[in-house]
Structure 1
């Protein structure tokens, strides 16, 4: 009814708070944004948050210490885990510093060989709880056996320019090779055909990991691997020191059997299978050389192409 002062909400009491009945602005505030939705890992009741918390606990509270997303800093030591991997590393004379063996391990021929080899070489063998092995190997399948490999000590490219080195200098430089097994195979070929060293870029390149050591079959202990901050600049320094620089490419102007520079101090540059030589590196080369192949094959593996080239260089030098 008009003028009904008893109607609910029709009167206003004195004071500054406004009406006592009504939404009080709640509907308007309900339409306002509350900011971005938190990530799943930041919600206490979400499964992702609980998993992240458990991973952080396993890693001892180190940020990013869990298996996913963790990265080792450059130049850090490496842990090789698993019975087969450990035995292969020892057979390849990878420079192991420590061996970890789980307590009450079920020893088989691989475990016995690994322990015997480590003992003969004076490598410390530590009995380690399985929980600690899990932490050391970052959750890998270690089968109760792991070894630690120290960071590789790289040479400097100028160390490979030594007038006292016997024979005609021969160096291999890698441009964009990211597979450590290719690096190991190339180091092995360099040792087999009288080479004096390998140069790798410090970024976007394979390094001397345990995998590279194993593939080199012990050659990495005899052939120095140098690391260059700038590969193009390193190649220019080799040229100033009297080296000729040749690059391997399937579209090269010179075929390998016609290489007349083989008897000169030489740097052989090998590019990746997919991208080949980078533009700046290619422009730095004195010659681009191709390996003649059957038309049924598009390209060779980088390690195989290097081995074939080094063999031909060695053959021509003997001739």
Structure 2
């Protein structure tokens, strides 16, 4: 019995010594260490964000390196006229049209009735569409329930505007197509020969310009010039006088002795005004006297000058 007890005790003690460890001693440290921050979704190969990132990198690699040339905003007119006045004027002028889209629940007024009648008369395909369809066609611009598909705007030749001795408006870098549309409307109203815009870095005859012009885009020619300075020199050689509009002009517009002459009116951009080379080409820089207002909108200033020049021309 006693011997057996010693053996059992010895066995227990031996087992205790064999399994004993002195403290933790850092044992299992690697198992407890973290694996760092969780990778971003775009860095995990099996995540959809990673695949999207790779696709974006491939697309970016396809793009040309170096300086990006500003988009030519005069070269890609949208093939659409929207708004009741614009559409009606285009149909009255028999502008070639490929289709008329009209809101299927529109409240027909006199203009809508005439629009549909003229479209049918000219053999233009008429289709009724939902408001959502018209919204998508107009790109968010107010369409008043009608949209007319027309060919891309055909710009005139700048020298062709010399066929009339009426005033010519030259827009030096107008960026907002709505300003262009407003100037087109004024030019048509006051009997101008036409409008010249730069071929690059300027607003062209787009949907927005058509809309604001209220149909004048079908009646007033707009020409494009590769180089405004050279075009102005050509006009001067043909006997035209060139005046530029600027708040700090040399003389007030209504006091200019050039108003009765065959005239070219230069209107500067919304922010920078007339560029240096164009300014140096002008025969006179004129200002419009105003009260306690800092400046006039480019289209408003152009309208006033076109009115004064048109009135002098008619006299």
TM-score band w.r.t. shorter chain: 0.5 to 0.7
Contiguous gaps of at least 5 residues in structure 2 = 1-38, 56-61, 64-70
Partner of 2:48: 46
Larger radius of gyration: 2
Alignment of 1:141-220 (within 5 A): 146-162=147-163, 165=164, 168-220=165-217
Within the candidate set 293, 307, 315, 1:311 is matched to 307
- Cα distance, 1:273 vs. partner? 2.8
> How big is each residue's C-alpha offset from its partner over 1:228-285, in whole Å with a ceiling of 9 and x where there is no partner?
0111111111111111111000000011121101111111000023111011111110
The 1:109/1:178 distance shift into structure 2, 3 A limit, reads same
Q: Is the 8 A contact 2:181 2:212 kept in 1?
A: yes
Q: Distance in 1 between matches of 2:139 and 2:216?
A: 31
Structure having the higher helix fraction is 2
User: Secondary structure of the residue that 2:258 maps to in structure 1?
Assistant: helix
Quote the Cα distance in structure 2 between the aligned partners of 1:304 and 1:285.
20
Whether the 8 Å CA contact 1:92–1:214 is kept in 2: the answer is: no
User: 1:129-148, aligned counterparts within 5 Å?
Assistant: 137=137, 146-148=147-149
Matches within 5 A, 1:234-249: 234-249=231-246
Please give the secondary structure, in 2, of the residue aligned with 1:261.
coil
Q: Which residue of 2 aligns with 1:67?
A: none
- Please give the TM-score of this superposition, normalised by the length of structure 2: 0.67
Gaps of 5+ in 1: 1-36, 54-62, 65-70
Counterpart Cα distance in 2 of 1:46 and 1:280: 53
Shift of 1:214: 2.4
User: Per the alignment, do residues 183 and 52 of structure 1 end up closer, same or farther by CA in structure 2, a change over 3 Å counting?
Assistant: farther
RMSD of aligned C-alpha atoms? 4.1
Aligned length: 256
Alignment pair present for 1:270 and 2:267: yes
